[in-house]
Amino acid sequence: GMELEDNPLLKNLAKDKEIEILFEDNELLVINKPAELLSVDGKEIKDSVYSRLAKKYPKSANYLIVHRLDMATSGIMLIAKTKKANKLLQAQFINRTIKKKYIALLDGLISKNNGEIDLPLRVDLEDSPRQLVCFEHGRPSKTLWRVLERKDNKTKIEFTPITGRRHQLRVHAAHVLGLNTAIVGDDFYGTKSNRLHLHAAYIKFTHPISKKVMEFNLEVGF
């Protein structure tokens, strides 16, 4: 018969990885998403942040997802438990009042210490979901970055995305007009490694009900 095992799209690499809950109240959760776990179910893999939390919080199933992390990215993800929290948190994402920072390990040495990348992105129609830089039809995409450490011919970088496009940090790192250096383990825009070295390390948002400013930092495992 056909060997289906080797297709990574069919193999659930996150099967044994737990979602860690960093904070929980009646309105929302802040979780640590493991690398390789989908945010929502895929065509083939019916295991995701969404499906696991919908089992655990059946009353909240319609409201859970307010934003997504790429399957390969680990780290902080905000989850709503009520209709009101979902609506108000989504509004914060749309209005860009939520501050997020990511840590990435880049496959080479970056000589500058910080900067800004402003490269418009659109989906590659021939090769979805791959994104490409397109000055004519791309959506404005902006990222601030600073070097945290240079070691072993690699550079650890903190990214602050100003916009939230799909694969934004991955393309802004790899593109010749960006940092011209792919994130370690980026099999889309660079070369394979044991995992994509991109981690959602920080979030700051306003609690939808108490209106308290909430901040979370999450250490990175690479």
Whether 107 is catalytic is no
| Token pair belonging to 147 | 């070097």
AA identity, residue 8: P
Encoded tokens for 168: 């934004």
Percentages helix, strand, coil for the chain, rounded to the nearest 5? 15, 35, 55
Residue 173 in contact with residue 111, Cβ under 8 Å? no
Which residue among the candidates 70, 118, 186, 187 is catalytic per the annotation? 70
Element (H, E) at 71: none
Structure-token pair, residue 29: 């959760």
Q: Which residues are the active-site residues?
A: 70
